[in-house]
């Protein structure tokens, strides 16, 4: 039996799972790269010809292969020294797979696990870092012209079972969050909140739980340690990628609302879960087994904990435009068509039908990139409710090319 020799990573570089977006400076177009895991701290702005090069850093193309492709594409020779320097620079920035990136992963994981709390990474960037100012900011989301009106909820006093909330930047989407949290404010509030958020950087194990308490400018949110102990016993693999919680924002963005709406009235705990799978993954046997095992296990633990709970699904809906892989920017027509599809899709969520929700996206081949599928599907598998309702729907514009993200708030009783 022969084994294939490992390829030299300096000659066959592998770009890590980075995110990118087009930007314009004057008349010139560039691509900005960044690391959603937070392992690499810098952003890198590349001209289009250099972006062409790094797109071929897949471990299959050698630097010589890439030079040949570059000549064919741009009609000029790529000097070996330039591409080798690019490889060295990317490796130094931890944008390439290899020894430096792996050593950094180990260090970050160890530091996270030894830290007493998960810190508020986005405070001062996506929301106010000062507690008093943050309370005022949240109040402003409720009273904004885009926020919830002042009529009492028809579900006031009922025990709330679930919420769907955005994960988009609070400065823009805060009023849409407020529509969901107004329902919670007026409901009979449970003891435990299972917050299931999108892991935008992806997960090998599909689900990641952390037992860390979360710090915010409003204090510390306690993770439910008895439930954590049961999860570790029954689903130990779900803790293997706990470090992903350090850089992801989906859960962090919900906590100031919970503290402001619930924390002043009664103590509460959270079960923080990140997840990453698409509707198309449900057709893959291995992924489906892993998804069913986690959700069935978590549902049984929550049913047996003896306390009331609410599941909060934190995620976005469609992603349209150049930033997300489309060939053209969205138009008013394409956005309104996508909005129609979103609302049709959310009808299945209102009806608490996870199978129909998944089938709708599968039929579309997930062309609109519904990044919140995993947390919303998980919510539908976990809760027992009589009804769901779309409370508010909106969109955010994420770049100069009108790339668009849609999101909604929903309540379940």
pLDDT digits (tens, 9 = 90+) for 263-291: 878 999 999 999 999 999 999 999 999 99
CATH for 119-412 (3.40.50.11260, 3.40.830.10, 3.40.718.10, 3.40.50.720): 3.40.830.10
Strands (E), 146-206: 162-165, 192-198
pTM of the model: 0.93
| DSSP state, residue 122 | T
pLDDT at 1: 47
The answer, yes or no, to whether residue 225 has pLDDT greater than 80, is yes
Share of residues in the chain with pLDDT > 90 (%): 92
Domain ranges of the chain: 19-106, 119-412
Average pLDDT over residues 102-114: 96
Average pLDDT over residues 57-71: 94
pLDDT digits (tens, 9 = 90+) for 333-363: 999 999 999 999 999 999 999 999 999 999 9
pLDDT at 111: 96
Average pLDDT, the chain: 95
pLDDT at 366: 97
């Amino acid at each position: 039996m022969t084994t294939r020799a490992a390829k030299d990573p300096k000659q066959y570089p592998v770009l890590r799972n980075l995110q990118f977006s087009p930007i314009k400076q004057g008349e010139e177009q560039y691509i900005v790269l960044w690391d959603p895991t937070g392992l690499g701290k810098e952003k890198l702005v590349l001209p289009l010809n250099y972006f062409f090069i790094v797109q071929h850093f897949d471990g299959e193309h050698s630097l010589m292969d890439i030079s040949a492709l570059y000549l064919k594409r741009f009609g000029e020779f790529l000097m070996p020294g330039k591409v080798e320097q690019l490889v060295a620079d990317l490796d130094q920035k931890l944008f390439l797979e290899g020894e430096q990136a792996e050593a950094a992963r180990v260090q970050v994981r160890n530091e996270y696990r030894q830290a007493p709390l998960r810190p508020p990474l986005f405070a001062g960037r996506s929301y106010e870092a000062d507690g008093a100012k943050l309370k005022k900011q949240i109040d402003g989301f409720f009273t904004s012209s885009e926020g919830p009106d002042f009529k009492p909820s028809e579900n006031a006093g009922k025990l709330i079972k679930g919420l769907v909330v955005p994960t988009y930047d609070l400065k823009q989407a805060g009023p849409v969050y407020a529509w969901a949290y107004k329902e919670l404010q007026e409901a009979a509030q449970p003891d435990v909140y299972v917050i299931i958020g999108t892991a935008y950087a992806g997960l090998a194990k599909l689900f990641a739980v952390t037992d860390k308490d979360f710090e915010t400018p409003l204090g510390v949110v306690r993770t439910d340690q008895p439930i954590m102990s049961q999860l570790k016993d029954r689903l130990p693999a779900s803790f293997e990628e706990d470090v992903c919680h350090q850089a992801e924002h989906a859960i962090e963005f919900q906590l100031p609302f919970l503290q402001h709406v619930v924390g002043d009235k009664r103590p509460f705990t959270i079960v923080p879960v990140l997840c990453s799978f698409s509707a198309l993954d449900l057709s893959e046997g291995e992924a489906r087994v892993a998804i069913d095992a986690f959700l069935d296990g978590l549902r049984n633990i929550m049913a047996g904990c003896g306390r009331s709970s609410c599941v909060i699904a934190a995620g976005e809906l469609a992603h349209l435009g150049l930033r997300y892989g489309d060939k053209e920017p969205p138009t008013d027509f394409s956005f309104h068509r996508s909005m129609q599809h979103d609302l049709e899709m959310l009808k299945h969520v209102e009806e608490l039908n996870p199978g129909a929700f998944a089938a709708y996206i599968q039929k579309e081949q997930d062309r609109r990139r519904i990044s919140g599928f995993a947390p919303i599907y998980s919510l539908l598998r976990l809760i027992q409710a009589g009804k769901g309702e779309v409370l508010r729907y909106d969109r955010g514009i994420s770049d100069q090319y009108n790339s668009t993200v849609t999101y909604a708030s929903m309540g379940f009783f």
